[in-house]
Amino acid sequence: MKVIQVVPHVGNEASGPTYSVVRLAQSLADAGDDVLLLSVKDGLLPESARFKHQIFPKSKFPSMLWRSPGLYRALKTEALNSDLIHSHSMWVMPNVYPGWVSRLKSIPLVVSPRGTMSSWALSNSAIKKRLFWWVLQKSALERAVCLHATAEQEYRDIRSAGFKQPVCVIPNGVDIPEQLQLRSIGKNRNAESVKEVLFLGRIHLVKGIDILISAWSKVARQRTGWQLRIVGPGKEDYVQKLRNQVERESILNCTIRGPLYGQDKQKAYHRANLYVLPTHSENFGMTVAESLANGTPVITTTNAPWAELNARKCGWSIDLSEDQLTETLLEATALDEKELRAMGFRGRQFMEEKYSWESVALQMNHVYSWLLGEADIPSCVRLD
């Protein structure tokens, strides 16, 4: 089948929707679908992407809406010879156009909110989002014949927003590094003189990094053989605010650096002894999956859909508070290297069992076929 995927942008950072939408498109193409990805302003993906990618300029006014008449025109044209449109994310015009085209061209529309319906996300810039919702976004979403949630919490968010359409609950996938690759890209953790707690991802208020720094200021007094490494892109004023917090609290073993990509990112995951994501809101938490795939145990919060970490004994899922995070960091950093490696091994097994991209693509393709009347209803689809 021919499927159009629409996402606002595909940047350099291979995380979040940038990673998951591109890998979904690749995996669908590998499974035999004809896939076209439309986005705004970014560079073309390499030819190895295995699907067609078209980019379009963003209008300067109003910049915050990401208007792109070129993308809208291309979507209308391509829809004439396509079977289905799949839109990812919300709150900008590239996520409104699919609803318009679905109505104009009578083509089925699937929508993946990608975490944008969580209570935390809705409370951020609430007035602007409320206006955008009633003027543009709500009617565009009502055109969807199916919505996609990556976890149970996102399914509940969709239902809480009042949408009654079928919802498919399919997690994001994760690339599992080969064991030989794991051994070759990073140093042996046993050889590290200083052990490392890593945060890697977007440096943003939603990630709870300020709480992490406050907790670490207490942990650092008792764990002199450990360091906290914060890595990722972020707005300079917020990054500077966090650096000021580190300086104000006199934390010597904490660094904040810019983003890493590709093999450098893999090395960072593999070198770390622990990964931490103290998030306020996460529909999936791609960095959690990536860390586990690289054999590194994880500490995250119940605001991310990773409660299985506790049962699988590959990490900790905790309530978000400075005290709880401090206590858990102290517990985790008290473990010896052998115990941490065993947790990391169980985490990698967890990813191999449930989160391969081949499995994700097969499930999504089944949903598409069902919507086109070519297959029975998939087990991942919720009608309640």
- Looking at the fold, whether 110 and 204 belong to one and the same domain comes out as no
Rounded to 10 degrees, the C-alpha dihedral 236/241/243/249 comes to: 180
**Residue spans of alpha helices (H) in the chain:** 16-30, 69-79, 97-105, 119-123, 126-132, 138-141, 152-160, 179-185, 209-219, 236-248, 262-271, 286-293, 308-312, 322-333, 337-354, 357-371
By residue count, the chain amounts to: 384
Q: Cis peptide before 62, with omega less than 30 degrees from 0?
A: yes
**pLDDT higher than threshold 70 for residue 189:** no
User: Where in the sequence is the domain holding 247, given as residue range(s)?
Assistant: 179-354
- Looking at the fold, whether 204 and 122 belong to one and the same domain comes out as no
- Comparing CA positions, the residue from 63, 62, 140, 134 lying closest to residue 102 is 140
- Span 11-40, average pLDDT: 83
Q: How far apart are CA 304 and CA 154, in angstroms?
A: 10
- Looking at the fold, whether 44 and 166 belong to one and the same domain comes out as yes
- Span 210-228, average pLDDT: 95
- Looking at the fold, whether 211 and 318 belong to one and the same domain comes out as yes
**pLDDT higher than threshold 90 for residue 80:** yes
- The pLDDT of residue 190 is 44
- Looking at the fold, whether 146 and 259 belong to one and the same domain comes out as no
- Looking at the fold, whether 323 and 370 belong to one and the same domain comes out as no
**pLDDT higher than threshold 90 for residue 276:** yes
CATH of the domain at 313: 3.40.50.2000
**Residue spans of alpha helices (H) in 15-136:** 16-30, 69-79, 97-105, 119-123, 126-132
- Looking at the fold, whether 158 and 237 belong to one and the same domain comes out as no
- The pLDDT of residue 91 is 83
Q: Tokens in use for 109?
A: 């529309």
- The pLDDT of residue 281 is 87
| Of 177-181, 281-285, 335-339, 375-379, minimum mean pLDDT range | 177-181
- Looking at the fold, whether 72 and 165 belong to one and the same domain comes out as yes
Strand order across the 195-200 sheet: 254-257, 226-231, 195-200, 274-277, 298-301, 315-318
- Looking at the fold, whether 324 and 368 belong to one and the same domain comes out as no
**What is the percent of the chain where pLDDT is above 70?**
92
- Looking at the fold, whether 348 and 363 belong to one and the same domain comes out as no
| pLDDT tens digits, one per residue of 296-332 | 999 999 999 899 999 999 999 999 999 999 999 999 9
| 8 Å CB contact between 245 and 317 | no
- Span 119-128, average pLDDT: 73
- Looking at the fold, whether 16 and 117 belong to one and the same domain comes out as yes
More confident residue, 227 or 283: 227
- Looking at the fold, whether 211 and 326 belong to one and the same domain comes out as yes
- In the chain, how many domains are there? 2
| 8 Å CB contact between 288 and 272 | no
